[in-house]
Amino acid sequence: MMREQLAQYDRDGFLVLPEFVSHEACNALHARADELVQKFDPAGVVSVFSTHEQTRTSDDYFLESGDQIRFFFEENAFNPDGSLRQARESSINKIGHALHDLDPAFDAFSRTADIRELVAELGIREPLLLQSMYIFKQPNIGGEVTCHQDATFLFTEPLRMVGLWFALEDATTENGCLWVIPGGHKVGLKSRFVRAEGGGTRFEVFDGSPWPEAKAIPLEVEKGTVIVLHGLLPHFSRENRSSQSRHAYTLHVIDASSKYPANNWLQRSEQMPLKGF
């Protein structure tokens, strides 16, 4: 990475790196995600994913997914009677959160020399691969992801965390590409999503002011692009009402030299410690 790109990252809080991953690698991950969905038995799982606080809180299936491969449905996936509105493979919002440690195809995609070097250049000296998500952004029903900072969900002290968002398909304003507020990482952390003492979760709010979403810009990117997100950069994505899916893979890397609080929502069992590249 070049010096100007690092300066740009410091200034804007994000970087767009086209052609970072080959189309073959994107296709292999896509195919593996399709396989995982085919093998997934949804019986008994009624966890409906949404970043809206009320549906996300107190959901054990979600809270225990830090060291698992779990499937989360789109908010609009179900009819009022609980049946699926679309085929199962078109109803899943995302898979998370330890794909990179549990699935060989995701492990291979996540642990390349290119990614290791990129993360090192971004200043993460002792990398630990904390979380991975495969995000489908399904045609017609793909839900919005409201404006947030990733450090709200993945806090470290001091904050040393970087988010990598890989476009596995072209992302456009029509199919729900990422939007960012350039420079928005300079305002500081507005909230933390933590495990509540009595069970479940809660938001700890430090600054309740609304995000200046009018300043946001869309990042329309081609398949194979990686978008680097500073942990404090506000970003969101709109609903996908188009007929095109918008698959993406995200990987969050933290630094072992920072403290990972015990009340972060995402936790692992002692049997599955975090690993580097």
Ligand X SMILES: O=C(O)CCC(=O)C(=O)O
Positions touching ligand X (CB under 6 A) are 133, 135, 137, 145, 150, 178, 235, 237, 248, 250
- Which is nearer to ligand X, 65 or 250 (by Cβ)? 250
Q: How far is the CB of 215 from ligand X (least distance, A)?
A: 17
Distance CA 9, CA 26 (A): 24
Q: Is 208 exposed, middle or buried (0-12, 13-18, 19+ CB in 10 A)?
A: exposed
Cα angle value 90/94/97 (rounded, 5°): 155
The least distance separating ligand X from the CB of residue 235, rounded to whole angstroms, comes to 5
Nearer to ligand X, 54 or 79 (CB): 54
For residues 101 and 150, which CB has a smaller minimum distance to ligand X in the complex? Answer: 150
Report the residue number, 192 or 235, with the smaller CB distance to ligand X. Answer: 235
Q: Which residue is nearest to ligand X (CB)?
A: 237
CA distance 13 to 178: 14
Q: How far apart are CA 98 and CA 269, in angstroms?
A: 12
What gap in Å lies between CA 95 and CA 92, rounded to an integer? 8
Work out how close the CB of 270 gets to ligand X at its nearest, in angstroms, rounded to a whole number: 26
78 SS3 class: strand
Residue nearer to ligand X on the CB measure, 9 or 149: 149
Residue 53 or 126: the one with the smaller Cβ distance to ligand X is: 53
**Do you find a cis peptide bond into 158, omega within 30 degrees of 0?**
yes
Q: Are 83 and 12 in contact (CB under 8 A)?
A: no
Cβ-count burial 230-241 (b if 16+ within 10 Å, e if not): bbbbbbbbbbbe
Give dist(CA 158, CA 155) in Å, integer: 9
